[in-house]
């Protein structure tokens, strides 16, 4: 029995580590498993300390940590509760709802996914704790639709220092990831009378569909030098959406002469360029290439996000916009979903303290080791397979010219429990201009199962 006045909570603390860490993990497990559902009110720190025989300080620190990680919410007058969207869905027929694609293979080598195990928990938690203590009251109300000035100032400095971006904080708009940024741009371009956008082919289907909801989208082929500007001119596009630093999914970098041609197109036609710098921080075998925006800030919209650097759970992105687009983009952002101000301040804090740079250096080394392991495994086990696009990013292109079809490749990989994406999944035009290929992400699965995933992939492809 207990004298606690609040709700009781049954927790079994793991025997390893400190009591605080054990409490944190017990709460995470209870939430992940669905035993503590969203909205559940937890005991006060005093009550839970009494129930578990812990010090109140230990419980308080555990609650603060889980609030910072997003597992819990804490509001004055409402107490500490389980946050929404944290518990796993109940299993149905042996598989959790909504996870059919992820569960189709034991090893996930699909592209576009960073290593979730490498999320900078400690640095993020420190930043969030500082923000919760020190944030001015205005943070909890409606603010500037462009985002917090603290983050815009930190980003302007960071992007100028690391990517060569030329932008004043006043011309930066913080948004909830690249997808929202692209949606805002589609809305504004439509308002300005733009009818056609040229997008790289191949490209991410979701991005193509997002633009196609408002504009006609022309498929512009990509070759070894990058987006073909001659095809862009022929398409009649007034906007070009591209990934100059590291094309997704082919992995090529836009050649210097092609960059100059693209800038000439923008100058001659008064067209806009949307530069998606989705993995600009990850360069391995050469010096980073400055963002194209640095050469024409008046015509290029530069967009980036934290989805690859920190993780998709932190929904933060940014638009460095030309002056002529600032007012309509700001108004579009005002009408859109607000971007969480506390997370903005936390990222600003990480950048200012150098934690963001340190995290990126660690990730860069880790991803380079993963890439090298993938290349060595393919060259040893599949000498006829060509590996492309490996000097940057989180994915590689595996060309299998002797394979009967991409469908056969995917089926061979899945036969050994490996999920991969065929190149054709991203193609919209002539698919015969590329040999059968796989787009393989090497940021997942977790480090302890990565070698086994590569072994399974090689075994499957050998059968072809």
Structural domain boundaries of the chain?
Answer: 19-91, 109-119+358-462, 123-353
- Cβ(166)–Cβ(295) below 8 Å: no
- What pTM value is reported for the model? 0.77
Q: Rounded to an integer, what distance in angstroms lies between the CA atom of residue 112 and that of residue 441?
A: 7
pLDDT score for 68? 73
109-119+358-462: which CATH architecture? Alpha-Beta Complex (3.90)
Residue 175 pairs with which residues in a beta bridge? 317
Q: Rounded to an integer, what distance in angstroms lies between the CA atom of residue 36 and that of residue 424?
A: 42
pLDDT score for 20? 83
- pLDDT tens-digit profile of 63-115? 988 887 778 888 777 789 998 765 543 333 333 333 333 444 589 999 988 99
Cis, peptide link before residue 345, omega less than 30° from 0: no
CA angle 364, 434, 273 (to 5 degrees): 60
Residue 440 pairs with which residues in a beta bridge? 396
Provide the b/e sequence for 334-356 (b: ≥16 CB within 10 Å): eeeeebebbbbbbbbbbbbeebb
pLDDT score for 380? 96
Q: Give the list of residues 6+ apart from residue 157 with CB closer than 8 angstroms, or none.
A: 351
CB atoms within 10 A of CB 371: 23
CB atoms within 10 A of CB 140: 11
pLDDT score for 93? 34
pLDDT score for 105? 54
Beta strands in 20-120 (DSSP E): 72-75, 79-82, 91-92, 95-96, 107-108
CA angle 53, 57, 85 (to 5 degrees): 90
Q: Answer positive or negative: Cα dihedral of 338, 192, 218, 272.
A: negative
Q: Rounded to an integer, what distance in angstroms lies between the CA atom of residue 204 and that of residue 324?
A: 28
Q: Which CATH class is domain 123-353?
A: alpha beta
Distances (CA, A) of 292 to 31, 165, 297, 337, 433: 45, 8, 9, 29, 27
Q: Rounded to an integer, what distance in angstroms lies between the CA atom of residue 382 and that of residue 24?
A: 45
Q: Rounded to an integer, what distance in angstroms lies between the CA atom of residue 212 and that of residue 190?
A: 11
Q: Where does residue 220 rank: exposed (0-12), middle (13-18), buried (19+ CB within 10 A)?
A: buried
Provide the b/e sequence for 301-331 (b: ≥16 CB within 10 Å): bbbbbbbbbbbeebbbbbbbbbeebbebbbe
pLDDT score for 32? 80
Q: Which residues of the chain have pLDDT under 50?
A: 1-4, 88-104
* Topology of domain 19-91, CATH: Arc Repressor Mutant, subunit A (1.10.10)
pLDDT score for 5? 55
Q: Rounded to an integer, what distance in angstroms lies between the CA atom of residue 205 and that of residue 212?
A: 10
Q: Rounded to an integer, what distance in angstroms lies between the CA atom of residue 33 and that of residue 270?
A: 55
CB atoms within 10 A of CB 228: 20
């Amino acid at each position: 029995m207990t004298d606690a006045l609040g709700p009781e909570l049954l927790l079994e603390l793991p025997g390893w580590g400190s009591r605080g860490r054990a409490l944190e993990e017990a709460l995470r497990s209870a939430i992940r498993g669905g035993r503590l559902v969203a909205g559940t009110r937890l005991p006060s720190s005093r009550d839970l300390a009494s129930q578990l025989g812990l010090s109140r300080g230990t419980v308080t620190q555990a609650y603060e940590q889980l609030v910072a990680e997003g597992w819990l919410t804490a509001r004055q007058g409402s107490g500490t509760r389980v946050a929404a969207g944290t518990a796993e869905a109940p299993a149905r027929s042996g598989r959790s709802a909504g996870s059919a694609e992820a569960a189709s293979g034991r090893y996930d080598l699909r592209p576009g996914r960073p290593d979730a195990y490498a999320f900078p928990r400690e640095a993020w938690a420190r930043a969030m704790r500082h923000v919760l203590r020190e944030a001015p009251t205005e943070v909890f109300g409606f603010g500037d639709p462009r985002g917090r000035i603290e983050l815009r100032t930190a980003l302007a400095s960071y992007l100028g220092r690391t990517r060569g971006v030329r932008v004043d904080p006043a011309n930066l708009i913080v948004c909830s990831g690249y997808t929202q940024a692209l949606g805002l741009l589609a809305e504004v371009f439509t308002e300005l009378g733009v009818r056609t956008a040229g997008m790289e082919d191949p490209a991410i289907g979701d991005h193509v569909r997002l633009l196609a909801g408002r504009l006609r989208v022309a498929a512009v082929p990509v070759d070894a030098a990058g987006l073909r500007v001659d095809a862009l001119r022929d398409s009649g596009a007034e906007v070009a959406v591209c990934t100059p630093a590291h094309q997704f999914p082919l992995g090529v970098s836009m050649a210097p002469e092609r960059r100059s041609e693209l800038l000439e197109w923008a100058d001659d036609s008064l067209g806009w360029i949307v530069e998606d710098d989705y993995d600009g921080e990850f360069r391995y075998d050469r010096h980073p290439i400055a963002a194209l925006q640095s050469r024409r800030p008046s015509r290029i919209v530069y967009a980036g996000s934290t989805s690859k650097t920190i993780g998709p759970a932190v929904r933060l992105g940014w638009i460095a916009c030309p002056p002529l687009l600032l007012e309509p983009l700001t108004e579009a952002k005002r009408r859109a979903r607000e971007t969480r101000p506390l997370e903005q301040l936390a990222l600003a804090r990480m950048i200012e303290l150098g934690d963001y740079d340190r995290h990126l250096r660690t990730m860069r080394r880790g991803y380079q080791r993963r890439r090298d392991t993938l290349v060595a495994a393919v060259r040893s086990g599949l000498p006829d397979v060509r590996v492309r696009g490996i000097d940057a990013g989180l994915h590689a292109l595996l060309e299998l010219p002797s394979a009967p079809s991409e469908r056969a490749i995917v089926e061979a990989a899945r036969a050994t429990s490996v999920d991969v994406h065929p190149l054709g999944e991203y193609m919209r035009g002539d698919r015969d201009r590329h040999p059968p290929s796989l787009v393989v992400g090497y940021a997942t699965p977790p480090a302890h199962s990565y070698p086994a995933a590569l072994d399974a992939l090689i075994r499957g492809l050998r059968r072809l």
